[in-house]
Structure 1
Amino acid sequence: MKTPVAIYKKILDNLEEGVHVIDIHGRSIFYNNRMSKLEGLDPEQVIEKPLLDVFPGLSTETSTLLKVLKYETSIKNRLQTYLTITGKQVMTINSTYPIELNGKVVGACEIAKDVTELKEMSEEISQLRQKVSIEENEDQFRREYTNIIGKSEKIIQLLEHTEKVSNTPSNVLIYGETGTGKELFARKLHNDSRRNKGPFIAQNCAALPAELIEGILFGTVKGSFTGAVNRPGLFQQAHKGTLLLDEIHTLPLHLQAKLLRVVEEGEIRPLGGQETQKADVKVIATMNTDPLEAVEKGEMRTDLYYRLSVVNLYLPPLRDRKDDIFPLVNYFLKKYQYKFNKTVLGIDPSLLDQFETYSWPGNIRELEHAIEGAMNVIEENETISFEHIPYILKQRLSSKGQAENNIEKCLCERNLIEETLSKRLENVERYHIQKALKENNKNVSKAAESLGLTRQALQYKLKKFDLVQD
């Protein structure tokens, strides 16, 4: 029977990941088959040799194995690029751990995953993106985004501001809730600018794997990693045009620093390249969260925020622009009647009233999906009514209506319907305070917690409404 050591070696040699172990002196003592294949080295070239003799592209500070040995702490999921003794460049994602015996570190073990396939996937994505006809896309954009629908004062002011800044060279930061139309405004900025003959490239930063982002943004140079070819990144593809970076705050902070340099200097350096390239690109960044909150939370670099927000546009949620609901409904009705080749007679006024009082947490996108959902089930020449809208929206509208009915009933029972608005609000507040006190057995602290108030705030209101506690 084989010795346990031979069995363990056999197991490790059959792993999909590379395994490399060094002793306390930095000499390699184990090197499995997968690591040998990954780095293009025979085990005899590695075993019993000092690590830096075999990998001259590394140093004591860049080698994850030597750093773990030195600082006696693990390093997980670290992207590493290095040269072997044969000159081969290798790119891996490594997890490295100290090896302890009797409480003392005696070596380090590294488990490496080859990311060549991921890089090849990124190359294919870039290649496919280039194959898309920019001219056809631009024609489509100009047809589809000629107008932004809306007649509310807020949207009119926003459109006027957009028109003023469309031809300036400054970068733009657009922020607003999900579904408010950030990409539409970005495309309008592009279409109304002098860059409208150039490409418009859009990329959601949150959809990119962290280890691929740099190559996708700035391009790659042949030989920069295993299987790499000369491939332009998004900045090269958007040259003389506009690059939209959606959810910019999801970029890793070290890449935000590189992006800042590109924005400031107008030059990029492809991954693995030695020379810089000009990048004449207008950057439009979008966020679905408050930029200052993202800065405070450490999700976005302060310097990048100030550089991108020279011009900033805030898109209000649909609940703050209720005057736009009717024109948007009409627009979506026309759009889906044409798409489904189906004629409807419009929308029931009572349903439209419900639409105009609903909060629309999903904003314009939710409204569009509601109309599209109704168009799927409605018969020819019918009027869209409550029964046709999607089930989830029905539930939301029903629960909202029930809550309003309960408040109205409460006011009716107290003969308060004819009172002024401020008086009615006071009585509704009084009612909920009394209800909370009753439900919490007159415990002021618990009642305050259930109402979302501090104890001091509730005490103030008790005095204000003369609700003295026994």
Structure 2
Amino acid sequence: MPDDIKKYLFDLNNADFLSVFDEFSDGVIVSDPNGIIVYYNDAMSRIDELNREDVILRSVTEVYDLTPDNSVILQCIAKRIPIIDQPNFYRTHMGKFANTVHSVFPVFNKQQMVGAICFVRDYNMLVNTIAAMPVPDQNARFNDSAITFDSIIGEDPVFKDAIRSARMASQTPSPVMLFGETGTGKELFARAIHNHSARNNQKFTPVNCAAIPENLLEGILFGTSKGAFTGSVNKAGLFERTSKGTIFLDEVNSMPVGLQAKILRIVQENKVRRVGALKETEIDLKIISSINRDPRITIAEGTLRSDLFYRLGVVFIHIVPLRQRLGDLDILVAHFIRKHNILLSKQVRSISDNVLELFRIYNWPGNVRELEHVIEGAMNIVGDGNTIRMNHLQSHFSNWSIRSRSNEAAPAPAFMHTPAQNFQPPEASPAPEVPQPDLKKQEADNEKEILTRVMARHGGNISQSAKALGISRQLLYYKIKKFKIDRSQFS
């Protein structure tokens, strides 16, 4: 080999490539062979809404709500092969959702793998950079600030009543509580309320209370004061940083009860005190919260303080599950096909009659979010076809018969069918009404039996069992603890 080429290769091997990645418009993550993040560029920080210092030297599964089975970085490390243009919808442990495309490459030094490098492109950025695509108002379609009540798809009368209530509530400073199952669109409602309010030019901060570890949640929300604990620094929490804007506390019923009392004080006094500090800071917030279970039950079980419910539920809006508004299936399917035709550069026009019939009898435990994921998954493998057919649904409906009827939710309480503005919160005393003990025990026994059967089928694997049940991993962990299920019996 000529000396000048040897010199070039030597210089190339010793070049500082990371400084180049600093300027990338795409997100870049570099991890070691154990999945520990050692590099994280500014673009990735913007996508995840996380600070570099909170990510570096932490494992992929600490930063993201992922497992070795569904993390593309960990899959690349395990298989030692590249993963190219992998669509990925994920959530950070701070509660931020991201819809992205990942390309991950193993990095070798001679024959030894020394880590992986992951390039991440945000779908929003894709839409904004493909300027030649003839799509009108394409930025508005994927810009959170452009989400309005007109963006919420549905013609069901009860669902439209919820939209009307939310629209009116957006014009007042009063707290709003959204009640709906996982996947019904609570964050979409929250963003529409913010964007329709006088605060629409200020910050909107979503916080997934179920996804953040209990020991970190207080510091994240309230902030920290230097010296409060080992390594603590002066840092504003989300309440302070969002002042003048809107904060969305998603699944507030999963928040520790002790922390709920501190949230109540903020709502009442509009002041926040950082952890370890003496001084209070005034804040001005529109607070939107959500719960995913019947408030009467959560109050009776002690997982939601009744006084916090009264304060956060000044305006109470129930978002009905998809199974109760199946008349909206046609327009929802058409909407998601249009959306993912743009994102995936497809030409899909419809779904087959057999698929539509299956959609109509399926119970949709994951609601509208699950429907979108089914459509997106099918469109990834439809090829050049223009119709989604049964063979494009992959394995999503392999256990649909169990999930569609056996696991069907109990009939909704009567208050769910009343207009949102007429809802009367439960009285603190006497205790809120709960189902009769014998009926409640029978329902609990049935639910435990289904959980046990599904977990046994999957050898106790949490990710696989949660997917088969159509619920989140966090909810499955909660139910395992609730029903005192011993996972060791499945291994």
TM-score of the two chains, using structure 2 as the length reference = 0.53
The aligned counterpart of 1:312 is 316
CA distance in 2, matches of 1:286, 1:390: 32
What is the one-letter code of the residue matched to 2:158? K
1:389 aligns with 2:393: yes
CA contact (8 A) 1:180 1:364 kept: yes
Counting only pairs closer than 5 Å after superposition, residues 328-367 of structure 1 correspond to structure 2 as 328-367=332-371
Counting only pairs closer than 5 Å after superposition, residues 153-232 of structure 1 correspond to structure 2 as 153-232=157-236
Counting only pairs closer than 5 Å after superposition, residues 117-128 of structure 1 correspond to structure 2 as none
CA contact (8 A) 1:210 1:252 kept: yes
Give identity over the alignment, percent.
42
Task: State which of 289, 298, 302 in structure 2 corresponds to 1:285.
Answer: 289
CA contact (8 A) 1:370 1:393 kept: no
Task: State which of 135, 142, 145 in structure 2 corresponds to 1:142.
Answer: 145
The aligned counterpart of 1:20 is none
CA distance in 1, matches of 2:283, 2:403: 53
1:259 aligns with 2:263: yes
CA contact (8 A) 2:93 2:212 kept: no
Q: CA deviation at 1:354?
A: 2.5
Cα RMSD (Å) of the superposition?
Answer: 3.6
Counting only pairs closer than 5 Å after superposition, residues 366-381 of structure 1 correspond to structure 2 as 366-381=370-385
After superposition, give the CA deviation of every residue in 1:400-449 in whole Å (9 maximum; x if it has no partner).
79xxxxxxxxxxxxxxxxxxxxxxxxxxxxxxxxxxxxxxxxxxxxxxx9
What is the one-letter code of the residue matched to 2:327? D
CA distance in 1, matches of 2:385, 2:359: 21
After superposition, give the CA deviation of every residue in 1:85-143 in whole Å (9 maximum; x if it has no partner).
xxxxxxxxxxxxxxxxxxxxxxxxxxxxxxxx99x989xx999x9xxxxxx99992123
> Tell me, what secondary structure is at the counterpart of 2:220?
helix
CA distance in 1, matches of 2:184, 2:223: 31
CA distance in 2, matches of 1:399, 1:250: 24
CA distance in 2, matches of 1:400, 1:286: 25
Q: CA deviation at 1:357?
A: 2.8
CA contact (8 A) 1:386 1:394 kept: no
Give ranges in structure 1 of 5+ residues lacking alignment.
Answer: 1-116, 130-135, 402-448, 453-470
TM-score of the two chains, using structure 1 as the length reference = 0.55
The aligned counterpart of 1:411 is none
CA distance in 2, matches of 1:205, 1:336: 29
CA contact (8 A) 1:126 1:216 kept: no
CA distance in 1, matches of 2:383, 2:223: 51
CA contact (8 A) 1:126 1:231 kept: no
CA distance in 2, matches of 1:126, 1:340: 27
Q: How many residues are treated as equivalent by the alignment? A: 283
CA contact (8 A) 1:354 1:397 kept: no
The 1:205–1:400 alpha-carbon spacing in structure 2 relative to 1, beyond 3 Å, is closer
Task: State which of 275, 278, 281 in structure 1 corresponds to 2:279.
Answer: 275
CA distance in 1, matches of 2:368, 2:256: 30
Give ranges in structure 2 of 5+ residues lacking alignment.
Answer: 1-53, 63-91, 97-127, 129-138, 406-441, 446-491
The 1:398–1:206 alpha-carbon spacing in structure 2 relative to 1, beyond 3 Å, is closer
After superposition, give the CA deviation of every residue in 1:187-216 in whole Å (9 maximum; x if it has no partner).
111111111111000111122222222211
